[in-house]
Amino acid sequence: MKKEEVRARILEIGIVPVVRASSSSGARFAAEAVRKGGIPIVEITMTVPGALGMISDLVRDMQDVLVGAGTVLDAEMARRCMDAGAQFLVSPGFDRETVELAARENIVIMAGALTPTEVITAWKAGSDFVKVFPCAQVGGASYIKALKGPLPQVPLVPTGGVNLDTAASFILAGAAALGVGGELIRKEAVHARQPEVIEDLARKFLSAVSNAREQMP
């Protein structure tokens, strides 16, 4: 899938499920569950055991799903993720070399930022989206709205504190998409192998995003 198509898919779906699991089997289970729930995107964090192998396996086995790499901290790690087949990269903070590498390789990257200066820096460096993290701790949806005032052109993806109660408010505040971790991929559901829990939550998050977008002018 081309970079423009990856970017468009993320914007269309509006949710990036963040998979943090204690095992590769748990990560695969979570990826399959969100897919069945209607979200064809998954971010496998580098904290998952065997993350690179998991990315390769998912890219091979789930060709209808965008498979990204999360918690990418530097350019070396980014290169390994791309070699494994990752279709987009996500970092918790801003690393210029990583963003520039992604730009050269024509792969979507979502660099992390928090302050207005960091958001502008990440955007100017070539980040396709800017992940605002940790968002809840600095005001949640109201903070996204405040950032969008002077920075309407920057696609912001709040992560941290996004749940079913706040998802709509983040979209209405101007978020391009939402990064959702434990509120979607519940640890207890992964541990007990209860896919229906995650599938149901996926559908509810999709509905929340869709309904909020319909309310926007």
Instruction: Please give the positions annotated as active site.
Output: 43, 131
* Residue tagged 């002077």 (tokens): 150
SS3 state of residue 42: strand
From 83, 64, 61, select the one nearest 72 (Cα to Cα): 83
Radius of gyration of the chain (CA): 16
SS3 state of residue 127: coil
What number of residues does the chain have?
217
CA distance 100 to 167: 31
**Contact, 8 vs 41, CB < 8 A?**
no
